[in-house]
Amino acid sequence: MTQIKKQLVLNKGSEKFIFRYPEESEGQLLDAFVAAANNPQTSFDWFDAAVLSFKLTQSLIGEADQILYKDLNDPVKTYHQGS
């Protein structure tokens, strides 16, 4: 069984949409956003899908930065030294 390690939450008025997903299944998560936006029985719409897609992208960028800069003391200063 795949262990759920991550989640994205969208508060929309009195509703709360929670998407829990295992690492490295972001593609399936995007598919779930599409399915939810296409479902007329929910108030989850394409704008909501876009907001959560943006949150997901920001999260992945943050993770990538941690991996890229984990061995550097000051990644911003090191990156700009060559300029």
Is the full-model pTM beyond 0.85? no
At 3 the pLDDT is 78
DSSP 42: S
Is the pLDDT at 1 greater than 90, yes or no?
no
Per-residue pLDDT tens digits for 18-76: 999 998 899 999 999 999 999 999 999 999 999 999 999 999 998 888 888 776 766 56
Angle formed by the axes of helices 26-38 and 46-69, to 10°? 170
Is the pLDDT at 13 greater than 90, yes or no?
yes
How far is residue 8's CA from residue 71's CA, in Å, rounded to a whole number? 28
Domain boundaries, the chain: 6-80
